[in-house]
Structure 1
Amino acid sequence: MASLSLLGSSALAYETVMVNGVEATRILIAPPRTELATSIRDGLRAAMAEAAPGSREQADADRLYYFYGARHFEPLWLTKTDDGIAFSDAAEEIVALFREAHLEGLEPSDYLTEGLDLATADTPDAFAALEAEFSAAILRYANDAYSGRLDPRTVSDFVDVAPKSVDEAELFAAVAEASDPAAVLMGYHPTHPEFVALRELLADHYAGEIEDLPKIGDGKLIKIGMTDLRVPMLRERMDVPLAPGGDPAIYDEALAAAVEAFQAEMGLNPDGVVGPATVAAINGAGGASRADIVANMERWRWMPEDLGAFNVFVNIPEFRLDVNRDGQSVWGTRVIVGTAENQTPLFSDNIRHVVTNPYWNVPSSILRAEIFPQVARNPNYIASQNMELLYQGNAIDPWMVDWSRASPSMFRVRQKPGTSNALGQVKFLFPNSHDVYLHDTNAPYLFERSMRALSHGCVRVQDPFGFAEALLEFEPDITVASLETTLGGSERWFNMDRHVPVHLAYFTLRVGDDGTVRSFADLYGHNERVIEMLGLDAER
């Protein structure tokens, strides 16, 4: 009942009654005043009765019933005129907003349904149904604007983002009392600068200022002297004319030089080799397709409303980590993320601990698929990898195990601190069910690759101590110097006073402050899946 007080109406009356000897409060709904109001009441009662118990539909029907009850069931979106029943001025403004929903990355037909056709309503019951459908459309729009049209968890098991929810009572109270209810609904869209930039890019598309160019397809690496059917399209995108007598399908030095300059501009390895990262960047450089823009806008709706004034942001397709303060990156570096088979999950949490000389506790999936078969064949494998085999919490000798009768679930394996440790010298923890974190690596040469989906799911940081310095800016008792004094010894934990929000995100499009659009490969297929689920395939 507390949520109902948000309606701010004195039309609701209460009385205290005894139920099985216990005092309870009963809401007294004010009676309808008009025939239309009576029809609205009866229609809402029917909706409450028809909804499945405990369902979201029942909760929505309940809230609508009490909302309209506070108004004596009088309509909010319909008004009586000399010519009959018409939409109110507020409703007309909202209808105009629905018509332009495509400019927000939404679908107008999701809100302008057949149930909102005023011309077909000619009885009190029909008008009541239209009134209820209008309120339901407002609720759909607000939810879609605020949290997206998809439940993120249905896109992939690696997307661990619960959908946000709109407070319906707050919503209807606000639109009922606002002089500009359309502006209230617009306020449910994200305000993240990159969402706004994508929305402006989408508007440019609809205005015809950006052309959806054919995408360059994926394929093998293209190096100087190689022949590839994609070369003519590359030449066109890079605006490099074919030399007289040249073969249009051969990747020549002039084209490679143009690609190298483009790579440098986009923050890629400027090696002139055309691989997946370069292809993705070229495909997005012209502004990307409408479908790509809308899919990325959808994922911005999944992000927390407040990312934190000071936060860590990892964009998986970009292979990049940024430390942000007040919306601006103050430090950044390259990262390595999970392979397509061992994906880095999407979620937000808080970094709470820094650990030097870390043990690597081998995840059960890796133990089962990789470690166990090796050690069963050769028990010395554990020692050769500087690892320990643990049984019931105690280290045991692998040679003492009858591996023909053992199973991975009986053991844990951890790699001891040292130069061979997969986590390097330091890791940054944000406890989570996926057992992933940010860490150093003992294979720094891998950061020179453009395509860096190489890990088992954790995020490897190219400059971990530079990251530590940026991360610990507000820590009074932890510094890089204090971390470095512990290196080479046993595992040491440092608990942070200030927990820092960390976001493992997935954006295949980024728009810079100067309007430059950068595009990244869809490593895990999340972008294509969102496009498919939203029915945007026809726009590709």
Structure 2
Amino acid sequence: MLLYHHIMNFERSFKKGVFIVFLLFIISCNNQANNNVNGDSYNPQSPVEEIAEGTPEAILRVLQEKDSTSLFERDSIKTFYKARANKPVWSDTQFRNAFLDTLKNAKYQGFLFEDFHGNEIENLTKNLQDRSSEEISALDIYLTDAFFKYGKQLWYGKTNPKKLHEIWDLTRKKISISKLLNESIDKNDLSFAIKKLGPINPIYNKLILAAKEQSILMEKDSSKFMKIEIGKTIKPENSDPRMPIIKARLQQLGYLKDADTSSVNSKTSEKAIKAFQQDHGLMIDGIIGNATLYNLNKSAKDWYNILQVNLERWRWYPRELGSDYILVNVADFKLEFIKNGKFKDEHKIVVGLPSRETPVFSDEIENIVLNPSWYIPPTIKIKDVIPGARKDPNYINKKHLNVISQSGERLDPLNVNWNSKEVYSYRFKQDPGSANPLGQVKINFPNKHLIYLHDTNSKSLFSNNARSNSSGCVRVEGVIDLAKELLSDQKQYNSDKVDELLASGKTRYIKLTTPVKIYIFYWTAWRENGKTHFTHDIYNDDEKILKALNTIH
């Protein structure tokens, strides 16, 4: 079951005003760093000591004196202070320390204190009682600037997904950082803003926990990590000189209690390999092939980086998904259906080839087509159909395709000049039937990417562990059952009626009466049942995102 099925219960509770649930979430996030290696809460100064206060006059002077490179959000900060007559923001010790705690504790989310004026803030908060009003005002400005930067990165992400993906079609609501901060000031409650800015789903919070655990492994890993040589496959009960290193690695990762020095892939090591394979999205067979070795050769730091990449992804994604929706994880080849806020079902899927990626986007399902015709999309027409017809005059007939001119005339493929430019204006259609790649069902959510969910006449692909075989659309195992679930609120289309319509062989369009959103996402790490899981990055996106994250400070 996909990890995300818990989200709707969380969202519904949040919307109903069950504040205590979210309060626990905020506390847990703040407590993560409290439990880490540096786990002290920020308390540079006893709150009972007398300290100078920032003043509107001093804040204005500091803002005028600071050059444009010393602040991240100079224009926004000046506008913010001007709107509040340059009054200081962080005079309240508890309010100030709440933000400092938040920044200090955010490192497992990839936010480093030093990237938010950390050094300046650290210096200014030492011996606060000896600071002048000017210095306290500078501290106030640094904290506000840090909050604006942190708020924007928490809400939108540190990087721009549109620059990292050929197709990225998710829209995000804009948010006013200054309004949120002012509301928090009025309430004297910083958590009011933080909970509005951060992802509210459990996946994000659990990834933080996974990153914390992985950081502990990083400390143990640094002195003991040895690369395992790639080579021939090691089957269960086989001997291989690499086995002692493999067993040591499995013990280091927590999959083996004791690592012997035998060169045999024993029953015990086979069991450990299977557990490792399951957690890393590999074929669970106990056989140590190159894919398993590739993953075993990743250091704790490598896995930590992958968790950071996925935290960034969830900052990009919408905060609320609704009560009825389909969630697709392209990287894990899985689809989950949520109905009335509860997990309904999970399906295996086949997604786009690396050369024809299934894009990240969201839409709303409009209708279901039973016994659909297939109109060849442009990519397949240009890359497959026309080149195929040029090589083989019988290609079109072999594929059971109809050729339709711009005027709507059906053409004889044997009389078409396939080398002419005119063929690019033709449409290609395949009628319903056993040869139709869409199978018996198509689930439509009209979009500019020409992506939809559908059945397939190549059902054997669902037995593969890796299933990136399509031209971009999403093939769904058990799609007839999914269609019936989507139509279950329409009594006239009960299960028997749908079966009857399918058996007729005639095309039938059925409009959905209950709106159902679909989210096609891509993520390669999550936490489930107390364990961190990874899956293969089929589109090699992790490395691009990590590289971009490493350039952001």
Q: Secondary structure at the match of 2:506?
A: coil
Contact 2:309 2:545 in 1 (8 A): yes
* Of 386, 392, 405, the match for 1:372: 386
Match for residue 337 of structure 1? 351
Q: 1:411 to 1:165 in 2, by over 3 A?
A: same
Matches within 5 A, 1:189-200: 189-200=198-209
Q: How many angstroms does 1:39 deviate by?
A: 2.6
Contact 1:338 1:456 in 2 (8 A): yes
Aligned Cα RMSD in Å? 4.0
Name the aligned partner's letter for residue 452 of structure 1: R
Using the alignment, how far apart are the partners of 1:212 and 1:241 within structure 2? 17
Q: 1:154 to 1:276 in 2, by over 3 A?
A: farther
Structure 1 residue runs without a partner (length 5+): 1-32, 51-56, 80-86
Match for residue 71 of structure 1? 84
Contact 1:158 1:343 in 2 (8 A): no
Matches within 5 A, 1:193-272: 193-206=202-215, 222=233, 224=235, 232-236=244-248, 237=250, 239=256, 248=263, 255-256=269-270, 259-260=273-274, 270-272=284-286
The structure where strand makes up a greater share of residues is 1
Using the alignment, how far apart are the partners of 1:387 and 1:534 within structure 2? 47
110-119 vs 500-509, greater mean Cα deviation:
110-119
Name the aligned partner's letter for residue 454 of structure 2: H
Q: 1:222 to 1:73 in 2, by over 3 A?
A: same
Between the two proteins, the alignment pairs up a number of residues equal to: 483
Name the aligned partner's letter for residue 235 of structure 2: I
Match for residue 500 of structure 1? 516
Match for residue 454 of structure 1? 469
Using the alignment, how far apart are the partners of 1:481 and 1:400 within structure 2? 45
Matches within 5 A, 1:238-387: 239=256, 248=263, 255-256=269-270, 259-260=273-274, 270-274=284-288, 289-325=303-339, 328-387=342-401
Q: Secondary structure at the match of 1:335?
A: strand
Contact 1:309 1:327 in 2 (8 A): yes
Match for residue 165 of structure 2? 156
Q: 1:350 to 1:282 in 2, by over 3 A?
A: farther
Contact 1:475 1:498 in 2 (8 A): no
Match for residue 167 of structure 1? 176
Match for residue 140 of structure 1? 149
Q: Residue deviations 1:41-93, cap 9 Å, x none?
A: 7579x97xx9xxxxxx9xx766544543342222223x5xxxxxxx8553333
Q: Secondary structure at the match of 1:317?
A: coil
TM-score, reference length from structure 2: 0.75
* Of 46, 58, 63, the match for 1:36: 58
Q: How many angstroms does 1:212 deviate by?
A: 5.3
Give yes or no for the alignment of 1:110 onto 2:115. yes
Q: Residue deviations 1:405-436, cap 9 Å, x none?
A: 23553222222211011111101111222111
Q: 1:144 to 1:414 in 2, by over 3 A?
A: same
Using the alignment, how far apart are the partners of 2:193 and 2:289 within structure 1? 46
Q: How many angstroms does 1:219 deviate by?
A: 6.6
Q: How many angstroms does 1:134 deviate by?
A: 2.9
Match for residue 516 of structure 1? 531
Match for residue 411 of structure 1? 426
Q: Residue deviations 1:211-235, cap 9 Å, x none?
A: 5595988978936388878655544
Contact 2:228 2:245 in 1 (8 A): no
Using the alignment, how far apart are the partners of 2:116 and 2:345 within structure 1? 43
Using the alignment, how far apart are the partners of 2:525 and 2:59 within structure 1? 49
Q: 1:347 to 1:334 in 2, by over 3 A?
A: same
Higher relative contact order (CA 8 A, sep 6+): 2
Q: Residue deviations 1:372-403, cap 9 Å, x none?
A: 11112333211211111222143222223222
Match for residue 482 of structure 1? 497
Match for residue 466 of structure 1? 481
Contact 2:279 2:534 in 1 (8 A): no
Contact 2:281 2:533 in 1 (8 A): no
Name the aligned partner's letter for residue 498 of structure 2: L
* Of 90, 93, 98, the match for 2:95: 90
Name the aligned partner's letter for residue 96 of structure 1: D
Q: How many angstroms does 1:108 deviate by?
A: 2.1
Q: Secondary structure at the match of 2:509?
A: strand
Name the aligned partner's letter for residue 397 of structure 1: D
Q: Secondary structure at the match of 1:318?
A: coil
TM-score, reference length from structure 1: 0.76
Using the alignment, how far apart are the partners of 1:407 and 1:378 within structure 2? 18
Q: How many angstroms does 1:460 deviate by?
A: 0.9
Using the alignment, how far apart are the partners of 1:470 and 1:203 within structure 2? 39
Q: How many angstroms does 1:180 deviate by?
A: 2.5
Q: How many angstroms does 1:141 deviate by?
A: 0.8
Using the alignment, how far apart are the partners of 2:258 and 2:141 within structure 1? 62
304-313 vs 318-327, greater mean Cα deviation:
318-327
Q: Secondary structure at the match of 1:202?
A: helix
Q: 1:471 to 1:229 in 2, by over 3 A?
A: farther
* Of 438, 457, 467, the match for 1:442: 457
Q: Residue deviations 1:23-48, cap 9 Å, x none?
A: xxxxxxxxxx953254367579x97x
Match for residue 33 of structure 2? none
250-259 vs 290-299, greater mean Cα deviation:
250-259
Name the aligned partner's letter for residue 503 of structure 1: Y
Match for residue 9 of structure 1? none
Using the alignment, how far apart are the partners of 2:468 and 2:525 within structure 1? 17
Q: 1:41 to 1:284 in 2, by over 3 A?
A: closer
The structure where helix makes up a greater share of residues is 2
Name the aligned partner's letter for residue 179 of structure 2: E
Contact 1:37 1:72 in 2 (8 A): no
Using the alignment, how far apart are the partners of 1:219 and 1:412 within structure 2? 48
Using the alignment, how far apart are the partners of 2:241 and 2:196 within structure 1? 48
Contact 1:105 1:199 in 2 (8 A): no
